[in-house]
Amino acid sequence: MSTQHHPEAEQRTLEGRGYVLVTAAYNEERHIGETLRSVASQRLLPRRWVIVSDGSTDKTDEIIRSWVSHHPFMEFVRVEKTEKHNFAAKVHALRRGLARLESVEYDFVGVLDADVSFEPDYFARLLERFAKEPRLGIAGGTIEQLVDGKIVPRRKDPNTVAGAVQFLRRECFEQTGGLPALVYGGEDAAIEIAARMHGWQTRTYSELKVVHFGLVGAGAGGQLKARFKWGRMNFQLGYHP
């Protein structure tokens, strides 16, 4: 593993408004290295990044530990699997990570998937948007899916933010009550709805690119299963057909 130390970036985490990250990872040995590398290369590092292994059975834990040993701002937490792996289990893992941040001073919190990558100035540029928009509560970059070795842009309403990269102003996050544990998923949509109800704006910035390595709806019957799960999620959120 190749790592680079950025003392100037670490110094900048002590200035201005700091941010923290939390990630839930389950069997992400194929892609989590890309995410670790992307965060470690940031021009503006997080004050803390808690990575929770949600009962992983592959080499995910080993990979995370190898990075944590070289980067003081990273923290590894393992949660043993006590329930069926579903979307609610992911939120429970994220909550465990958030609990580890109670002693850290920060103004922004990012919920980051374990299979994404982005440019070294991603978070610095994102924070610039928040500085210019005082009512911006949730923001993130636009997702580009890696499919068969090719980058394919994912269509997204500019007023919503992909759950893989939701970045929230702390005041907004606390007003919404945080991430709800929903069996069929949709916690990212639910927190956006709550944010807008409190008068916050949500925005995806097309100039901030994020590569997502996990393929949505893959496998036999993938599209049908994805549509079925999407329907159950929307019903759970109270949407009418």
Q: Which distant-in-sequence residues (6+ apart) come within 8 Å of 100 by Cβ?
A: 48, 50, 75, 77
What's domain 7-237's superfamily in CATH?
A: Spore Coat Polysaccharide Biosynthesis Protein SpsA; Chain A (3.90.550.10)
Alpha-carbon gap, residue 236 to 151, rounded angstroms: 32
Q: Which residue ranges make up each domain of the chain? A: 7-237
Find the DSSP H helices in the chain. 7-12, 32-40, 60-68, 87-99, 122-132, 170-176, 187-197, 222-237
pTM higher than 0.75, yes or no?
yes
In this prediction, residues 67-75 reach a mean pLDDT of: 98
The band of 81, judged by pLDDT with boundaries at 50, 70 and 90, is confident
The DSSP annotation for 43-87 comes to SS--SEEEEEEES--SSHHHHHHHHHTT-TTEEEEEE---S--SH
Say what the pLDDT of residue 221 is: 43
Alpha-carbon gap, residue 150 to 67, rounded angstroms: 28
CB atoms within 10 A of CB 63: 22
The band of 101, judged by pLDDT with boundaries at 50, 70 and 90, is very high
- Report which of residues 88 and 41 the model is more confident about: 41
Alpha-carbon gap, residue 118 to 123, rounded angstroms: 9
Q: Locate 23 and state its tokens.
A: 């990630």
Yes or no: say if 109 and 173 are a contact pair by the CB < 8 Å rule: yes
Q: Does 237 score more than 90 pLDDT?
A: no
Yes or no: say if 169 and 192 are a contact pair by the CB < 8 Å rule: no
